[in-house]
Amino acid sequence: MLLMGRLRDAISRINPHVPAEAQEEAVRRVIRTETPNLLENNRRFHRMLVDGIDVEYQADGRTVHDKVWLVDFANEDNNDWLAVNQYTVIEDKHNRRPDVVLFVNGLPLVVIELKNAADENATTKKAFDQLQTYKLQLPTLMTYNVCLVASDGITARIGTLTSGWDRFMPWRTTDGQEIASKGKPELDVLIQGVFEKSRFLDLIQHFIVFEVDAGKIIRHPKMQNPTVVVINDRNDLDDQLFTTFAGCHELLRQKPTHADDRDAVQELLKVASGGVVFTTLQKFAPDSGETYPELSGRRNIVVIADEAHRSQYGHHARARKTGEISYGFSMYWSDGTQSLAC
pLDDT tens by residue, 237-251:
556 666 666 655 555
pLDDT tens per residue across span 170-217: 999 999 889 999 889 999 999 999 999 999 999 999 988 876 447 556
What's the domain count of the chain? Answer: 2
Least confident of 122-126, 146-150, 264-268: 264-268
Residue 177 maps to which CATH number?
3.90.1570
Same domain, 186 and 237: no
Identify whether residues 158 and 136 lie together within a single domain: yes
Long-range contacts at 59-62 (CB < 8 A, ≥ 24 apart): 59/19
User: Do 287 and 251 fall into the same domain?
Assistant: yes
pLDDT of res. 341: 47
For the CA atoms of 291, 340, 228, 298, the dihedral, rounded to the nearest 10 degrees, stands at -140
Final residue of a structural domain among 154, 186, 207 = 207
pLDDT of residue 131 exceeding 70, the answer is yes
Same domain for 146 and 245?
no
Q: Does 183 share its domain with 257?
A: no
- Predicted pLDDT of residue 79: 98
Q: Do 117 and 195 reside in the same domain of the chain? A: yes
139 and 233 together in one domain: no
Q: Is there a single domain that holds both residue 142 and residue 60?
A: yes
Whether 250 and 181 map to the same domain: the answer is no
Q: What is the pLDDT, as a whole number, of residue 126? A: 95
Same domain (yes/no): 192, 279? no
Instruction: Return the higher-pLDDT residue of 147 and 289.
Output: 147
Same domain (yes/no): 108, 62: yes
Q: What is the pTM of this model?
A: 0.67
Over residues 3-23, the pLDDT tens digits come to 999 999 999 999 999 999 999
Look up the domain containing 54 and give its range: 1-207
The domain boundary residue, chosen from 207, 234, 263: 207
